[in-house]
Amino acid sequence: MAYEKFWKDHEKLNASEKKKLEKDGLEIFNDIPYYAEHGFDSIPKEDWDLFKWAGLYLQKPKEAGYFMMRVNVPSGILTNEQVEVLAGIAHDYGRGVYDITTRQAIQFHWLEIHQIPDIFKRLKSVGLSSAGACGDITRTIVGNPLAGIDPDELFDTTNIVKEVYEFFQYNEDFSNLPRKYKMSISTNLRNASNAEINCISFTPAIKKIDDEQVAGFHVKVGGGLSARPYLAQTLDLFVLPEQVKEVAIAVTTIFRDYGYREKRHLARLKFLVADWGVEKFKEKIMEITGPLNSKGEEPTKEWNAGYFYGVHKQKQKGLNYIGFNVPVGRLSADEVFELARIARTYGNGEIRNSNSQNLIIPNVPDEKVEALLGEEIFKRITVKPNSFIGYSVSCTGIEYCNLALVETKERMRRIAEDLDRQLILDVPVRFHMVGCPNSCGQRQIADIGLQGIKMRTKDKRMIEAFEIYVGGTLNKGGQLNEKLKGKVEGDQLPDVLLKFLTYFKEQKELGENFHHFYKRIGLEILQEKLTTILEELNEKVS
């Protein structure tokens, strides 16, 4: 290592930190060939967690030996060759399951240890990697899925994202961080990267320097969700495009060297930023980088939450990008092969993932748009989804995840499709469902967030249930949604949501979205409505 782990003698290091001092997470790549040859039983239990650094989690139950794999897709941009390889992995090893995540990555399930070396080989052949997709390390970089073609971007960030991502890949100077570390880089004016919920985000900015208007970035730090969510704060810095890598290294160095390593639940960068304050944090950055410009102006528009449905003109004359809904982010391998064929036939072969778990086919000439939209697959994966299924996001849930308390993915899909059959609104409502407090499904920024819990019934049975949160947004700096009192049994959730949203429909003003409705009538009235709904349902049951 080129740096000193001066925290190594701290008497209150947690168990994970002590383990990482014995063996760096990236060393698991050296061990996997042996384990693959000798089988799952050859893996010591104490090394199970190290697989995260290779983008691998053991599914539930862990002892069964099946892995989930997450593959990095910086900015969500995939070439046709990459899409074909990913579809092949899902088909050959992942039982046909292909999931798009809320960080633009791809997830596979049902992988076995003897298959991993070949999967790594396939990924490497097309320039993809799962390294650092999980673990206490720099994760994939979230970015603008429309980078380079976006009329709403300040400038193209493709090469900047590539440079920063490649610097941190397999970099053992930054593979022992206190916890996971999430970064976004985007100049999309509608905040397509959800900047405020990342540890560090580079966001579009302009500043007059020597009488010249210069385009660059502002820097936000300290965002993150989970059980104690924080929105990132903007530093008084303006960063030129050529300075992004240097500043990213500086912030990551600060987190590595000063981040908390005593208690895992307090180890994210957001807690260090909250304790230090943004002024001290800014000064610490400049101790590493040297002087930087003070911040400029932010040419932002209304937040789009990562949704790009429909046909849209690109920067390039005569070309279009087309945004499609992938219900709760799940595709089959056969569907992905078909999408790859379509992208190759009508566009330049690329497919781009958005953080709303949806996809975009870019570079489609005007004269080919109609024929593309006529393809059979776009009856399910549509450009004009219904109001609920089109704006529903879900984490993996108990189906595959060891941390989840409830089933989410299929439940969210069923509920959304049922709501679409029973209720028509003039505005979409963004639903995010999560199976545990870790919030991979980002429920804190949803109009309506649904968080899975376990609940004991009157007859002492433990059942799946949900808490409801309302009012999240990332417009104008953002607001995290607020919890409504009351636990909703999983079986009752469809009825509760139908009644709750019917009330919204009846009371809202024409064109009023859910966040504005929540701000206008207030949390107290929404609480009263939910309480009444739950009381009425319980009376029927009893």
- DSSP annotation of 451 reads E
One of 52, 103, 139, 180 is an active-site residue; which one?
180
Active site residue 261: no
428: helix, strand or coil: coil
One of 20, 52, 179, 330 is an active-site residue; which one?
179
Active site residue 180: yes
d(CA 507, CA 425): 12
Task: Identify whether the C-beta of residue 251 lies closer than 8 Å to the C-beta of residue 232.
Answer: no
Active site residue 421: no
Active site residue 411: no
d(CA 51, CA 67): 9
d(CA 177, CA 137): 6
**Residue 336: closest CA among 82, 98, 130, 74:** 98
Residue-by-residue DSSP string for 195-224: GGGSSEEEEEEEEEETTEEEEEEEEEE--B
One of 148, 349, 441, 472 is an active-site residue; which one?
441
d(CA 152, CA 147): 10
Strand order in the sheet with 97-100: 56-58, 67-71, 106-111, 97-100, 330-332
One of 440, 449, 471, 478 is an active-site residue; which one?
440
Active site residue 179: yes
Strand order in the sheet with 319-324: 77-78, 351-353, 359-365, 319-324, 310-313
d(CA 265, CA 495): 35
- Residue 451's Cβ-side half-sphere holds a number of Cα atoms within 13 Å equal to 25
One of 135, 435, 471, 478 is an active-site residue; which one?
435
Just list the catalytic residues: 70, 179-180, 435, 440-441
